[in-house]
Amino acid sequence: MTALPTLLTGVVPPVCTPLTPDNEVDVASLERLVDHLVGAGVDALFVLGSSSEAAYLPDGHRRTVVSTVVRHAGGQLPVLAGAIDMTTLRVLDHVRDAADAGADGVVVTAPFYTRTHPAEIARHYRLVAERGGLPVFAYDLPVSVHTKLDADLVLDLAADGTLAGLKDSSGDDGGLRRVILGAPPAFSVLTGSELTVDSALAMGAHGVVPGLGNVDPDGYVRLYRAARAGDRDGARAEQERLCALFGMTETGSPARMGRSSSSLGAFKAALHLRGVIAHPTTAVPQIPLSPEDVERVGKHLATAGLL
Amino acid sequence: MTALPTLLTGVVPPVCTPLTPDNEVDVASLERLVDHLVGAGVDALFVLGSSSEAAYLPDGHRRTVVSTVVRHAGGQLPVLAGAIDMTTLRVLDHVRDAADAGADGVVVTAPFYTRTHPAEIARHYRLVAERGGLPVFAYDLPVSVHTKLDADLVLDLAADGTLAGLKDSSGDDGGLRRVILGAPPAFSVLTGSELTVDSALAMGAHGVVPGLGNVDPDGYVRLYRAARAGDRDGARAEQERLCALFGMTETGSPARMGRSSSSLGAFKAALHLRGVIAHPTTAVPQIPLSPEDVERVGKHLATAGLL
Amino acid sequence: MTALPTLLTGVVPPVCTPLTPDNEVDVASLERLVDHLVGAGVDALFVLGSSSEAAYLPDGHRRTVVSTVVRHAGGQLPVLAGAIDMTTLRVLDHVRDAADAGADGVVVTAPFYTRTHPAEIARHYRLVAERGGLPVFAYDLPVSVHTKLDADLVLDLAADGTLAGLKDSSGDDGGLRRVILGAPPAFSVLTGSELTVDSALAMGAHGVVPGLGNVDPDGYVRLYRAARAGDRDGARAEQERLCALFGMTETGSPARMGRSSSSLGAFKAALHLRGVIAHPTTAVPQIPLSPEDVERVGKHLATAGLL
Amino acid sequence: MTALPTLLTGVVPPVCTPLTPDNEVDVASLERLVDHLVGAGVDALFVLGSSSEAAYLPDGHRRTVVSTVVRHAGGQLPVLAGAIDMTTLRVLDHVRDAADAGADGVVVTAPFYTRTHPAEIARHYRLVAERGGLPVFAYDLPVSVHTKLDADLVLDLAADGTLAGLKDSSGDDGGLRRVILGAPPAFSVLTGSELTVDSALAMGAHGVVPGLGNVDPDGYVRLYRAARAGDRDGARAEQERLCALFGMTETGSPARMGRSSSSLGAFKAALHLRGVIAHPTTAVPQIPLSPEDVERVGKHLATAGLL
């Protein structure tokens, strides 16, 4: 366990979870993926988020993921773990597992599946923070949670110390900006929007959690460093290159599969083609990419000079 | 474990989960609640659905609920258990727990939280049925899952034996009817819509899973028996009385709490006022009813002659 | 103009709008369609609803529709007209046109396109009723309006005389029942749910507004009369026959077209095949059914004995 | 009528529609508002968008607005007009009115109210462009239309010359960027997101359509000019000042009114307090701000140095 810095900054990739063909965690591949990311100079790791297929992983798999990554890299950089579940007590079970495995912080959504209310969301975060014993980052992901975290609510929970930060995957950069402008100094604002990292950093976001960073961590590290160095044109050029690469997530036809199958399938196909992981398998019941889809992922990599 | 009948019919209340003030399962109250339901003549029990606060219960609580109810009533009538989780492998863990505890069948939603696709939903149910070893009932609950189960998809999965039945809480009685008219004879269609049970039975639904049946199981048993006896006016009169009683679920103000807090809070307050359970506690982070809310619940009970 | 009865009851088909191939109103076909409906014994006519493609018709077309139908049938039975637009002042323009053309009442949704609030919905209906000078029926169509009319709001507006009735196309028969049970005696409750007409009538609904009634008005008239005569098995049998016929609305592939194109395309293809209207044209930008789709519509008609 | 430049750029405020207390267009105030905007140096005007309450204005009001603004300012800068309606033929009626009144281009959403499909959206825009005779800008406003315009669809319609530009009010800056990176050179990309104008311009957007620009056009002109001059820190500082000012849109309580009432009420209250328009009236059925709300709007103005 690495002490979490007062303010988490930089590139924090949401680590994919390599699986064997029978859907077990492929620990060796996971370690190689961590090496691939750490070698590129990322600043922290986020496991068990959407890019990690957290929604698809049983608790045993989840524990394996956190303990593997902490054991392999925990001395070098902070490890955040998603504690993704429907409501407070279930989330707290995951927080406990994450703490036991040595995670440095947890990332938690509003309640989902059940119908909720702002007062219940606030109570949820307060209880998770009080009882969990780890720094809590709010995870704003309305496409999954079906509730948008209101900027004022986040700012209230930032002001009273309930939250250590926000991982914003809402795609709503106006709302993101309201949090950036209103939050206390030690509150970390991280964007999960792969295509607007340069914008978010220019607004004052502290870090970035890009799913595509699994495939091209060097690109996001260069982008982040250019932005921090005030080289905005360099940051924009890097970002635009990554926008083109992101086209790989649309290779799987919407007529055949959902958007999770297509995006995560592309990331894993790319990691497999780049030799980082042993199998491109995504968890059931996702639909695998076709050989033609994989070929198109390969072309994206080639165009980006990543093969 | 009671062998599940070929066709599940009748009143199958979704059993509330009594909790202690510190949110542990109140086993003694749960047993009294089961006695209250079985004594009224219900035909089966459904644990770990929405009325059971399944979304709020950690796995340990869930296991306690199933094993308590099976141990207490399992010899007398079938027990179905919800296996509510985001995707296939997580659901299968719950199915395993339910089977170990002696449940007779499981009730399973489409994948949620992740973005999904009809082909993935079908794959999900097929895998749960193949690997789980228990009869699977599809749970159509779009207000939670944010996907409506398509009638044609349900009928395909009914025709090939993947599904043993449907628990329809969509509120869409047109869609329900399409399933009733198209399903094979041994496929059980159960409605979760408390306010249209007489309609659903008149259309050919086999059973009813009413949350309000926790509070007034005798009412739903009378309604079911009247409908089965062809006494449609009697069924309608009973249904209309229950519609009035259902007004209790709106006592908690939407300005203060979500609809889960209000509905489940009312059911539990009513069960507490009727002396069935020891505490009206709902699981965190739900907001408790106010004393005035509870008083109004009491008036609903009094009007219905249930106090 | 026919005085609207105190309580509107019976079969009130939402009249399709026949179009020429260049999207003008086909007045002769519209008159034949009205004859086809009136001849079957329907109780009133509803023009400019969803089945009439009101959303697709310019104001000139709308005026032609109302005046044609009133002139052709207005002495024989009441004519309701949709006044479908985004907000109050725009709706009032349509109400004025409907009154000028001799309509007996108007059917009005909550505000749409703009973000609204229950207090604004109430104000909207009150202004339309006060200034419009015609009886107002609320149109609950959440699939289009993206707001569900709350039963309590409808009941408030029924109690104070703002609304003369409700046309419920929400598919939520529990909500429909709450209105039926709470409304004053002269408030007309009409269901737009083609597949559950027998249920709605058994609950106490006063009438039915079935899009499919364009194709088979005799069927809905028989269904209504059976229900009113207390012949519930006869009503159910007729309803189930109509449920099978309704399958025609799914002939157009969702990969090629929207659900409006498919449903209205099927109704118009059926009316064309039955010789009632001269062209099966739907308004732009809807996608026409393919010849194979039309053939399948024909098979539905043949199976139902309507060719 | 001013010839529309090949590429529309700069600050294009969506002009509010001043109303008299009885909801007529207040022509004198509208002319003063246009002077206020033109005097600040804006580059074009957009009438009949959301900030103009287009959804609330009858056709007569709409015609008055376009003709007033064109007559008053049409020689000096281009005037775009919203042609906001449900489907193609209705939109074309508005396009005709806009053309007659001398507008230089029209802004058009995807079909709404009816259920639609990408093929129908494409057909809609093609017909509007072919038959309307004015340059067409797509208006992406999912909060109203309930469909998000897909970036690929927009790019197809840009490539074949159907669309002259995009007004993106989706809040999805990742999607906006995909359009910017893929569009042909003469395609104008305008952002409607008031809080991220500096970001959008840094990405390559050509212009900005800020509702708040009614209140503080000088601010948006300074922001735009700073961004174009490469003074990114200056642009950011101006943007952050405007973000604080935007807080005025939240003065109206969500318990009392909808978000349209609150936002447009604040803009009009501010214009009234600044002496630009004679009445702060918003169109029915919107709920007026309370005197306390107006006082808070005044405080926002005072803080920003605008009183």
The C-alpha of A275 sits at a distance from chain D's nearest C-alpha, in angstroms, of 29
| Contact at CB, B89 and A261, closer than 8 angstroms | no
Residue D226 has pLDDT above 90, yes or no: yes
Number of residues assigned to chain B: 307
Which tokens belong to C175?
A: 């909500």
Residue of D nearest to C62 (CA): D90
Instruction: Give the gyration radius of chain A's Cα atoms.
Output: 18
The answer to whether residue B148 is catalytic is: no
Nearest C-alpha neighbor of D238 from the set D214, D215, D222: D222
Residue of D nearest to C87 (CA): D56
Nearest C-alpha neighbor of B196 from the set C237, C231, C181, C190: C181
User: What backbone torsions phi and psi does residue D139 show, to the nearest 5 degrees?
Assistant: -115, 110
Report pLDDT for C6.
83
Residue B231 has pLDDT above 50, yes or no: yes
Collect all residues from B whose CB is shorter than 8 A from any CB in A: 23, 50, 55-59, 61, 84, 86-90, 92-93, 111-117, 119-121, 123-124, 127, 143-146, 254, 256-261, 283-287
Report pLDDT for C84.
98
Tens digits of per-residue pLDDT, C9-48?
A: 999 999 999 999 999 999 999 999 999 999 999 999 999 9
Residue D1 has pLDDT above 60, yes or no: no
- Label residue A137 exposed, middle or buried (CB < 10 Å: 0-12, 13-18, 19+): buried
| Contact at CB, B93 and A145, closer than 8 angstroms | no
How confident is the model over B141-145, as a mean pLDDT?
Answer: 98
Tens digits of per-residue pLDDT, A162-210?
A: 999 999 999 999 999 999 999 999 999 999 999 999 999 999 999 999 9
Sorting pLDDT into bands at 50, 70 and 90, what band is B1? very low
Substitution target from A180, A203, A259 for chain D, most D beta carbons within 10 A: A203
Tens digits of per-residue pLDDT, D30-78?
A: 999 999 999 999 999 999 999 999 999 999 999 999 999 999 998 899 9
Give the count of beta carbons closer than 10 Å to the beta carbon of residue C169.
Answer: 25
The C-alpha of C304 sits at a distance from chain D's nearest C-alpha, in angstroms, of 28
CA C46 – CA C63 distance, rounded (Å): 14
- Chain C residues with CB under 8 Å of D127 CB are 284-285
Report pLDDT for D2.
52
Alpha helices in chain C (DSSP H): 27-39, 59-73, 88-100, 118-132, 142-145, 151-159, 173-182, 197-203, 217-228, 232-246, 259-273, 291-303
How confident is the model over D137-162, as a mean pLDDT?
Answer: 98
Nearest C-alpha neighbor of D241 from the set D171, D168, D305, D307: D305
Nearest C-alpha neighbor of A105 from the set A31, A180, A169, A46: A46
Report pLDDT for A173.
94
| Contact at CB, B58 and A286, closer than 8 angstroms | no
| Contact at CB, B202 and C203, closer than 8 angstroms | no
What residues form DSSP beta bridges with C46?
C14, C80
User: Given its phi and psi angles, is residue B277 left (phi above 0), alpha (psi -120 to 50 degrees) or beta?
Assistant: beta
Side chain identity at residue A208, one-letter code: V
| Contact at CB, C173 and B181, closer than 8 angstroms | no
Report pLDDT for C74.
84
Tens digits of per-residue pLDDT, A31-45?
A: 999 999 999 999 999
CA A207 – CA A43 distance, rounded (Å): 9
Nearest C-alpha neighbor of A168 from the set A142, A136, A203, A134: A142
Residue B214 has pLDDT above 90, yes or no: yes
CA C228 – CA D284 distance, rounded (Å): 42
Mean pLDDT, all residues of chain B: 97
Substitution target from A20, A25, A94, A114 for chain B, most B beta carbons within 10 A: A114
Nearest C-alpha neighbor of B202 from the set B220, B179, B180: B180
Tens digits of per-residue pLDDT, B40-82?
A: 999 999 999 999 999 999 999 999 999 999 999 988 999 999 9
Give the count of beta carbons closer than 10 Å to the beta carbon of residue D156.
Answer: 16
Report pLDDT for D6.
83
Q: Which residues contact B230 (CB under 8 A, 6 or more apart)?
A: none
Which tokens belong to C98?
A: 């409907």
Architecture of domain C10-232: Alpha-Beta Barrel (3.20)
CA B275 – CA B283 distance, rounded (Å): 20
| Contact at CB, B114 and A57, closer than 8 angstroms | no
Cα of first residue to Cα of last residue in chain B, in angstroms, is 34
Sorting pLDDT into bands at 50, 70 and 90, what band is C75? confident
| Contact at CB, C243 and B177, closer than 8 angstroms | yes
Report pLDDT for C4.
77
Strands (E), B161-280: 165-168, 188-191, 207-208
Give the count of beta carbons closer than 10 Å to the beta carbon of residue B275.
Answer: 10
Nearest C-alpha neighbor of B66 from the set B84, B48, B85, B43: B48
Tens digits of per-residue pLDDT, B251-269?
A: 999 999 999 999 999 999 9
Do D208 and D235 contact (CB within 8 A), yes or no?
no
The C-alpha of C112 sits at a distance from chain D's nearest C-alpha, in angstroms, of 8
Residues annotated in a binding site of D for pyruvate? 209
Do D134 and D164 contact (CB within 8 A), yes or no?
no
Question: Which is the catalytic residue, given B125, B167, B220, B224?
Answer: B167
Do B199 and C191 contact (CB within 8 A), yes or no?
no
Report pLDDT for A74.
84
How confident is the model over D237-261, as a mean pLDDT?
Answer: 96
Question: Which is the catalytic residue, given B56, B113, B139, B268?
Answer: B139
Residues annotated in a binding site of D? 209
How confident is the model over B289-306, as a mean pLDDT?
Answer: 97
The residue to which tokens 């090496």 are assigned: A35
Residue C52 has pLDDT above 60, yes or no: yes
| Whether complex ipTM tops 0.90 | yes
CA C191 – CA C199 distance, rounded (Å): 10
Percent share of chain D, pLDDT over 70: 99
How confident is the model over D180-208, as a mean pLDDT?
Answer: 97
Sorting pLDDT into bands at 50, 70 and 90, what band is C5? confident
| Contact at CB, D120 and C259, closer than 8 angstroms | no
Report pLDDT for A300.
98
Give the count of beta carbons closer than 10 Å to the beta carbon of residue C275.
Answer: 10
| Helix or strand run (H / E) with residue A298 | helix A291-303
Residues of D assigned a catalytic role: 139, 167
How confident is the model over D88-112, as a mean pLDDT?
Answer: 98
- Label residue B75 exposed, middle or buried (CB < 10 Å: 0-12, 13-18, 19+): exposed
How confident is the model over B219-240, as a mean pLDDT?
Answer: 98
Q: Are strands A105-108 and B45-47 parallel, antiparallel or unpaired?
A: unpaired
Q: Given a contact as 3+ CB pairs under 8 Å, which chains touch C? A: B, D
Side chain identity at residue A294, one-letter code: V
Question: Can you give the three-state secondary structure of C7-40, one letter per residue?
Answer: CCCEECCECCCCECCCCCECHHHHHHHHHHHHHC
| Helix or strand run (H / E) with residue D202 | helix D197-203
Cross-chain CB nearest to D120 (options C117, C124, C257): C257
CA C82 – CA C12 distance, rounded (Å): 13
Starting at the edge strand found earlier in the chain, the sheet holding C79-82 runs C10-11, C207-208, C188-191, C165-168, C136-140, C105-108, C79-82, C45-47
| Contact at CB, C173 and B194, closer than 8 angstroms | no
Collect all residues from D whose CB is shorter than 8 A from any CB in A: 171-175, 177-178, 181, 193-196, 198-199, 202-203, 232, 236, 240, 243-244
Q: Are strands C10-11 and B207-208 parallel, antiparallel or unpaired?
A: unpaired
CA A134 – CA D9 distance, rounded (Å): 49
DSSP characters for C94-134?
HHHHHHHTT-SEEEEPPP-SS---HHHHHHHHHHHHHHH-S
CA B272 – CA B36 distance, rounded (Å): 12
CA D5 – CA D3 distance, rounded (Å): 6
Tens digits of per-residue pLDDT, B161-210?
A: 999 999 999 999 999 999 999 999 999 999 999 999 999 999 999 999 99
CA D64 – CA D84 distance, rounded (Å): 15
Q: Which residues contact A63 (CB under 8 A, 6 or more apart)?
A: A97, A101
The answer to whether residue C167 is catalytic is: yes
Which tokens belong to C112?
A: 């749409």
Give the count of beta carbons closer than 10 Å to the beta carbon of residue D46.
Answer: 30
Which tokens belong to B11?
A: 């009143």
| Contact at CB, A202 and D202, closer than 8 angstroms | yes
User: What backbone torsions phi and psi does residue A32 show, to the nearest 5 degrees?
Assistant: -65, -40
Residue A1 has pLDDT above 70, yes or no: no
- Chain B residues with CB under 8 Å of A59 CB are 59, 90, 93
Q: Which residues contact C103 (CB under 8 A, 6 or more apart)?
A: C1, C47, C66, C70, C79, C80, C81, C134
Measuring CA to CA, how many Å separate D235 from each of B175, C201, D130? 54, 64, 39
Do C199 and B202 contact (CB within 8 A), yes or no?
yes
Report pLDDT for C1.
46
Percent share of chain C, pLDDT over 90: 97
Q: Are strands D165-168 and B45-47 parallel, antiparallel or unpaired?
A: unpaired
The C-alpha of A79 sits at a distance from chain B's nearest C-alpha, in angstroms, of 23
- Chain A residues with CB under 8 Å of B136 CB are none
